[in-house]
Amino acid sequence: MPEDLKTYPRIYLYRRVVQAKLFIDSHYAADIDLNNVSGEAHLSKFHFIRQFKKIYGETPHQYLKRVRIEKAQLLLTSGIPVSETCYLVGFESLSSFSGLFKRLTGITPSEYMRQQQKLKSQIRSQPLQFIPGCFAKKKGWYTDH
Whether residue 63 contacts residue 56, with contact meaning beta carbons closer than 8 Å, is answered with yes
Q: Which pLDDT score, from 0 to 100, does residue 5 have?
A: 44
Cβ neighbours of residue 107 closer than 8 Å, sequence gap 6 or more: 101, 115
Judge whether 58 and 50 are in contact, CB under 8 Å.
no
% of the chain beyond a pLDDT of 90: 72
Query: Rounded distance, CA 108 to CA 22, Å?
Result: 28
pTM: 0.82
Q: Which residues of the chain have pLDDT under 70?
A: 1-8, 136, 142-145
